[in-house]
Structures are given as structure tokens and as C-alpha cells.
Amino acid sequence: MLDVCLLGTSGMMPLPRRHLTALMTRYNGSSLLIDCGEGTQVTIRAQGWSLHDVDVICITHVHGDHIGGLPGLLLSMANSDRTEPLTIIGPSGVKKVADSLRIIAPGLPFEIRYKELSEEFLSIECDGYTLEAFRLKHTVTCYGYSQIIHRGGRFDADRAREAEIPLSAWSRLQKGETVEAEGRVFTPDMVLGPPRKGIKVTYCTDTRPIPKIAECAAGADLFICEGMYGDPEFTGKAKEKKHMVFTDAAALARDAGVKELWLTHFSPSLIRPKDYEQVAREIFPNSHVGKDRKTVTLTFDDE
């Protein structure tokens, strides 16, 4: 199962009751953070999740509201006695920006490994899950990310017994490993059905709505998408600033066939985003206005 927490919902600047937009997920003892604005470490603490276990940080783009909190987070991770390497993934140039910000976080007790993106689309294998990065359309190079937890096929005990596979090999075969035992070789395809639906979360900010987003979010259990403005009348402003209105995000959710949409990255001028939730629901019924630390635990379908 995957714990998902939308750490904040503000765009452009942090507000007293609205942290900057960022996402954190926890899977199998490892945490993923997407974006780290000023104050992101505070909302992680308010949520009660550990900074120590953040193994991967994805940065969508190097605007201040998405990366300004990085040095403070790194300092606090150092204070939590982390020594394991940390991976930072982001658009080409992210290392330069991170290094410049790190003038106040120079000596860290853990290594930082950078993965700079320049592709239109890239799939990255992480510890137990797949990250997909896809290029968005903003004023600077920007990436959306999907976290995908794959799920192998169902284990068929009857077939395992028929093939006289020793019990000691079953659990490794179930994990997809090939096993040698009793002088024979057993492969997962002997006992596993076709791969089953896993878990997919797609995160997408800051960008204009482009068809590629719907392709990359296809079938997601949860699609977290920017909606800078609620009122469709701000469409012109959204185009100018390379952002979206709620209905743009809802249309992407509908086209992608996702299960649920959370809107985020609200303009400071959008005082009550809830007022425009219905506008989004007319296009995609399962639309929800995000709020700080909105949390869900996603499980496999029949768990």
C-alpha cells in the first residue's frame, strides 16, 4: 500500500494557512518527495511523517516556490542523522540550483546523487517502484511525475503442486525470482498469472494542459494536478502565466480515465478554492479541491 500526502496547496508564495504545493508518499519504508518549497519541511513535521526516510526528491522545475525549501530540508535531514544517499531528480540544471542554495547547507552526512532530465519521457526504476517523468509546458523546463507500484500475477498453488515445486521455493517465485532447487530450475511463469493492476499516482504542476499529460496520467488511481485559478473566466490569465484553471485539470482527468482528481497549486488570489469544485465536477465528477495534508492510503484493488 502507498501512503500519499498532499503537503500543501499554495502556488507562488507560502501563506499562513496554505503551504506551498508538494507531495510526499511512503512505500515499503521509503519516502518520495515531489517539490520542496519554503516551509515544506514544516508541513512534513505537521503531518508527523519522518524526514529521515526521504530517499528520492523529484523537483518539477527550479522556480523558488518549488525548490526554495531544499537547503532547510537537507539541514533537517542531516539533523535526523541520515547517512544513506539521497537521490534528487529534476530538469537539467537542477544540480546547479541546488548547489547554489546549499551555500547554507554545505556539509551533509549523506551523499546526494543527481539525475538530471532532458528527455520528453523517462522511466526510472527506484526501490520497489517505477518513476515516470514527462515534460510539461511552463515558462521554464518542467516535469510531471508518476509513481507506479507494479503488481505481479496471482500465484497459482494448484499449478505449483502439479509441477511438484518444493514449498521452500514458492515465496521467491511469487516475488518474480527464478529458483533452483532439488536439481531443477523453476521460473515465475510456471506459477504466476498475468500481471495485475498496481497503484499509480500522477503529479502535475506547473503547466498548460497538453494532451501528453492525459497520456501519462492514463489510468492513475490518483491524479494530483495544478489548478492555479478556479474561475473559468481566468482562462486568459492562465494561458498567459502558463498555468491552468480547474476545468483544464478536470478535462485532463476525464481524458486520462483516472479514478480521482485532487486540485492544488492555488493562486494566492483564490481565497476559497472550494467555491469552484463544482465547476470541475461538471467535467470530471470525482474532482476534489486539495487542502494541506490531504492524505489517502492507496491499496491494491482486492486488498
Catalytic position from the list 3, 35, 65, 99 = 65
Burial of 11 (0-12, 13-18, 19+ CB in 10 A): buried
Contact at 8 Å (CB) between 26 and 44?
no
CB of 112 to a second copy, least distance (A): 16
Q: Is 153 helix (H, G, I), strand (E, B) or coil?
A: coil
Distances, alpha carbon 138 to alpha carbons 13, 99, 135, 278, 288, in Å: 17, 23, 9, 26, 23
Compute and round to an integer the Cα radius of gyration of the chain. Answer: 21
Taking CB under 8 A as the criterion, which residues in 228-287 touch a second copy?
none
CB of 92 to a second copy, least distance (A): 15
Q: Is 198 helix (H, G, I), strand (E, B) or coil?
A: strand
188: left (phi over 0), alpha (psi -120 to 50) or beta: alpha
- Asked if 221 is an active-site residue, the reply is no
Q: What is the DSSP letter of 25?
A: E
Residue 204 contacts a second copy per CB under 8 A: no
Binding piece for a second copy, criterion CB under 8 A, among 42-50, 122-130, 228-236, 284-292: 42-50
Q: Look at strands 261-264 and 121-125 and give their pairing.
A: unpaired
CB of 228 to a second copy, least distance (A): 14
Considering only 76, 87, 141, 207, the residue that binds a second copy (CB under 8 A) is 76
Considering only 34, 54, 97, 160, the residue that binds a second copy (CB under 8 A) is 97
Considering only 53, 75, 196, 286, the residue that binds a second copy (CB under 8 A) is 75
CB of 63 to a second copy, least distance (A): 7
- Report the first-to-last Cα separation within the chain, whole angstroms: 9
Taking CB under 8 A as the criterion, which residues in 4-23 touch a second copy?
12-16
Count residues binding a second copy (CB under 8 A).
Answer: 31
Instruction: For the chain, give the longest Cα–Cα distance.
Output: 71
Considering only 21, 25, 31, 41, the residue that binds a second copy (CB under 8 A) is 41
Considering only 28, 92, 100, 168, the residue that binds a second copy (CB under 8 A) is 100
Interface contacts to a second copy, rule CB under 8 A: 12-16, 38-39, 41-43, 45-46, 62-65, 67-69, 71-72, 75-76, 79, 96-97, 100-101, 103-105
Active-site positions read 65
